[in-house]
Amino acid sequence: MTLERPTEVTPDGADLLALVELALGEARALGASQAEAAISLDVGLTVSARLGEVETVEYQRDRGLAVTVYFGTRKGAASTADLGPAALRETVAKACSIARYTAEDACAGLADPETLARDVPDLDLSHPWDLTPEAACALALECEAAAFAVDPRITNSEGATVSSHRGMRAYGNTHGFLAAYPGTIHSVSCSVLGSQGEEMERDYWYTTARDWRELEAAASVGRMSGERAVRRLEARKLETMRVPVLYAPEVARGLVSHFVGAIRGGSQYRRASFLLDAAGQQVFPDWFALSERPHLAKALASAPFDHEGVATRDRELVEGGMLLGYVLGTYSARKLGLRTTGNAGGTHNLIVHGRGRDLDGMLALLDRGLYVTELMGQGVNGVTGDYSRGAAGFWVEGGRLQYPVHEVTIAGNLRDMYRQVVEVGSDVDARSGVRTGSILVEQMTVAGG
């Protein structure tokens, strides 16, 4: 099989910065008192295979310009996927037109000049993979084949996928900030189904990295997805009870994400958070710590500056179980009478610090309860903290996995759950912007199906 690869458009920082400058100059010419513009360009290849055959080969070329202008404290914004000069000028003109009709907002405006990044560190985020379509197809087929080879009870597949993307982000504003940085992201994933009699269970595995050389082998990903699917067969339901719950690392990061959502500036100034005004309060046990590390080399959520050009910096969000501050962009910071924390666009590499127990140690600490490996549904109320999710995993007795469990619901209140965190494991999952090991919660309601 020979697949023709189209001529690749290589993201070029200098070209994108020139377009940003053009947009800012146009905004000034139209009378804007302040303006900012961001351009992103992404090119990539994604291949999927299912049941031993290549199913899709996709090339992606995504690009876009977003411009925001301010006339005093009136704001207008517009965007386009056309980076040609005529479309760029038209987009800026639309943003200016919108601004003239919006209400004044005293908190609107660019980030303060002194908060902007003056040095843009190289965080080693770009590692292009010269991956041909043929090679990507071979990897996807190898990955799925390894899953089927695990056990004859692997009878069906949702497919294996190999993906490689590279991109460039450029940002500038009329305070004189102008910078760009490249990035890559590569992944291999597989999802298969195991069956026994009339029972069928699905599971998956994946690997992702900035540097393609740091990916798990495709065959290893396939084997893991097959093993995970098979071990879920003969799953049982549970009676409703109150027991400890241990979250596997790949689902434990969701608990951290809910916490971050509650301490975002938008949730705080809108008075829509179960952790309202919680800065300075004890929200976790006194040993618990949560850090943000934006400048980790090759990390998936690293960034030299945020979406407003504000310098990103190491910070401690939780220390000794106490919330030290919120997650703020410029606007939300002004609404709260605070200063931006460099989090416009999100957080950068959150790290939950455990106390050294591996998974076996965490299971021993759990002793008797539920080990959750998958969550379903969206039953989380960010205002009240009420938490109810469908779950699957394993019942644990005497610190050992006994049998798989499915069709259960776990419920509690996040504020209570955070205070009842017993331990965080050393089995850290680094495949996202939240790095955490397994998290043990002292007591939750587990409801059977």
Domain segments of the chain: what residues?
13-231, 241-447
Q: Which CATH class is domain 13-231?
A: alpha beta
The answer to whether residue 6 scores a pLDDT higher than 90 is no
As a whole number of Å, the end-to-end CA separation of the chain is: 48
Provide the angle, in degrees to the nearest 10, between the axes of the packed helices 218-231 and 133-148: 30
How many Cα neighbours within 13 Å face the side chain of 82?
9
> What are 287-334's pLDDT values in tens digits?
999 999 999 999 999 999 999 999 999 999 999 999 999 999 999 999
Q: How far apart are CA 77 and CA 92, in angstroms?
A: 8
CA–CA–CA angle 235, 238, 242 (5° rounding): 140
Write down the pLDDT at residue 237. Answer: 93
The residues near 7 (Cβ < 8 Å, ≥ 6 apart) are none
pLDDT of residue 355: 87
Exposure string of 291-328, with b = 16+ CB inside 10 Å and e = fewer, is bbbbbbeebbbbbbbbbbbbbbeebebbeebbbeebbb
pLDDT for 449: 62
Q: Nearest CA to 323 among 374, 273, 283, 267? A: 283
> How many CB atoms sit inside 10 A of residue 144's CB?
30
pLDDT in tens, 267-286: 999 999 999 999 999 999 99
Give CA 289 to chain center in angstroms. 20
Residue 12: predicted pLDDT:
63
> What are the two backbone dihedrals, phi and then psi, of residue 32, each rounded to the nearest 5 degrees?
-65, 135
* Predicted model pTM: 0.93
**pLDDT tens per residue across span 213-266:** 999 999 999 999 999 999 999 999 999 999 999 999 999 999 999 999 999 999
CA distances from 232 to 190, 192, 260, 374 (A): 16, 12, 31, 11
- Quick one: pLDDT at residue 377? 85
Provide the residue type at 139 as one letter.
L
Q: d(Cα 146, Cα 162) in Å, to the nearest integer?
A: 14
Query: How many CB atoms lie under 10 A from the CB of residue 185?
Result: 19
pLDDT at 2 over 60: no
